[in-house]
Amino acid sequence: MSIARVAVLYQAIEPPVVNGVRKPPKPGGYRDSGADIAYSLQLQSDIDVLTATPSSSPNDEDGWCFPDTEEGIMLALKKGATHLWANTVLFTTHPLQSSSRIGKYQDLARVFGQPPPMVEKYDDKEFVNNLLRSKGGFTMPRSWSLSKSEDVKSRLRALNLPFPVVVKPIRGRGSYGVRMCTSEGEVIEQIKALFEDSLAIMIEEYLAGEEITITVMPPSEETPRYWAMPIVKRFNHADGIAPYSGVIAVTSNSTVIPSGHYAKYPSYHEVTRQCEEVAKLLRVTAPIRIDARRFTNDQNSDFALFDVNMKPNMTGPGRPGRENQASLTALSAAALGWDYSTLLRSMLLRSHTLRALREAQPDL
């Protein structure tokens, strides 16, 4: 007996400008990971997967997912979807939140994803990092922001930056647009490039040590608390930055930290605790992924949290030619003994009614 009829949504709507900043849409709109999710979920005997076209091929990412437009979501619901997997970027005016037509299904359909208003607010990396600093108890790098209206050269001279630094978008996507800069000239060059799409950018203290990423799962009936999955270590950085997964597969530059290291280096326990506290503070309803890095190469150096990702990449193996496309979260799940399909099932069971998703609002 089927416990869910799932329709996976991909990004067909360009994110809006929020406070002068637009999150860059991903080329293809996450259709690649959407196809991975749909294909692998159907391997679960008690889950039915609806597809936009009846003849979707495992060799092709097209046809597996529905566009996240009002019409696309309504098509999925009319086909009998009981669960919508929001493999897209959400925001307050997104049809999942605002459409009255879709709202008629708010007690009938469940959604796997974050509440749209919370995504819109917490996708602002400057806001989240400043929030964590203000709350206390979180280890953070130093950070500065610049707006397009400022005299950049004068502001940079006043800041007296501790080179090297990292220049990044306020609403970023992975390592897209992120650059380590070793001089004022490089900073100005990167700022100009980012100002083409955004009215504001961030500059952060460069963290030179070991980089890790931690996926935090939300509560469920089985585990009624926020909990962190095994830590994944990143290596083989390009110019000081972990390369974008769309260019270099994370399986070639990432590995799970052996459990024995936790006892040897207490900082792993501490950063895990902090990541769980971040998820609890933000009241997330789906997994988030938090990136952290030691201040120095000393293994006893503390980790600083530098990036909270409301939508982790969810590519995974299963379809032909996708053997090396495990995401960071999938790598972590493998250390728990979960294959990609099992991970997806566990995530789907953490879905909420559309009504609950719509009613959730950020209170920070």
Query: What percentage of the chain reaches a pLDDT higher than 90?
Result: 90
Average pLDDT score over the chain: 95
- Residues 313 and 19 sit within 8 Å (Cβ to Cβ): no
Tell whether 44 and 65 lie within a shared domain: yes
pLDDT of residue 202: 97
Question: Average pLDDT for residues 98-119, to the nearest whole number?
Answer: 98
Tell whether 221 and 330 lie within a shared domain: yes
Tell whether 47 and 160 lie within a shared domain: no
pLDDT of residue 197: 85
Which of left, alpha, beta for 126 (phi over 0: left; psi -120 to 50: alpha)? Answer: alpha
Tell whether 152 and 218 lie within a shared domain: no
CATH of the domain at 240: 3.30.470
Reported confidence tier of residue 244, pLDDT bands at 50, 70, 90: confident
Short-list 108, 114, 110, CA closest to 94? 114
185-202 pLDDT, tens digit per residue, is 999 999 999 999 889 999
pLDDT of residue 154: 95
pLDDT of residue 219: 95
Question: Average pLDDT for residues 125-138, to the nearest whole number?
Answer: 96
Residue 344 forms part of a structural domain: no
Tell whether 67 and 148 lie within a shared domain: no
Joined tokens for residue 165: 């630094």
Tell whether 117 and 61 lie within a shared domain: yes
CA-to-CA distance for 14 and 74, rounded, in angstroms?
19
- Residues 85 and 350 sit within 8 Å (Cβ to Cβ): no
Joined tokens for residue 164: 């090297």
Domain that holds residue 73: 4-122+353-359
Residue 342 forms part of a structural domain: no
54-91 pLDDT, tens digit per residue, is 889 999 999 999 999 999 999 999 999 999 999 999 99
**Is 229 a residue whose pLDDT tops 80?**
yes
Joined tokens for residue 29: 């709109």
CA-to-CA distance for 174 and 79, rounded, in angstroms?
33
Pick the last residue of a domain from 173, 205, 237: 205
Least confident of 44-53, 109-118, 237-246: 237-246
pLDDT of residue 24: 87
Put simply, whether the predicted model's pTM sits higher than 0.85 gets the answer: yes
pLDDT of residue 173: 82
Q: Please give the biggest Cα pair distance in the chain.
A: 66
CA-to-CA distance for 207 and 304, rounded, in angstroms?
8
What's the per-residue H, E or C state across the chain?
CCCEEEEEEECCCCCCEECCEECCCCCCCCHHHHHHHHHHHCCCCCEEEECCCCCCCCCCCCCCCEECCHHHHHHHHHCCCCEEEECCCCCCCCHHHHCHHHHCCCCCCEEECCCHHHHHHHCCHHHHHHHHHHHCCCCCCCEEEEECCCCHHHHHHHHCCCCCEEEEECCCECCECCEEECCHHHHHHHHHHHHCCECEEEEEECCCCCEEEEEEECCCCCCCCCEECCCEEECCCECCECCCCCCCCHHHCEEECCCHHHHHCCHHHHHHHHHHHHHHHHCCCCCEEEEEEECCCCCCCCEEEEEEECCCCCCCCCCCCCCCCCCHHHHHHHCCCCCHHHHHHHHHCCCEEHHHHHHCCCCC
Pick the last residue of a domain from 185, 205, 225: 205
306-352 pLDDT, tens digit per residue, is 999 999 999 999 999 999 999 999 999 999 999 999 999 999 999 99
Pick the last residue of a domain from 205, 234, 260: 205
**Is 137 a residue whose pLDDT tops 70?**
yes
Joined tokens for residue 120: 């819109």
Residue 343 forms part of a structural domain: no
**Is 246 a residue whose pLDDT tops 70?**
no
pLDDT of residue 35: 98
Reported confidence tier of residue 174, pLDDT bands at 50, 70, 90: confident
CATH of the domain at 57: 3.40.50
pLDDT of residue 1: 83
pLDDT of residue 176: 85
From residue 279, alpha-carbon distances to 89, 144, 159, 223, 273 in Å are 18, 24, 32, 15, 10
Helices 152-159 and 184-195, packing angle to 10 deg: 130
Short-list 95, 125, 124, CA closest to 111? 95
How do strand 232-234 and strand 200-205 relate by DSSP bridges?
unpaired
Q: Please list, in sequence order, all residues whose beta carbon lies within 8 angstroms of the beta carbon of residue 264, skipping any fewer than 6 positions away.
A: none
Short-list 47, 42, 37, 76, CA closest to 287? 37
Domain count, the chain: 3
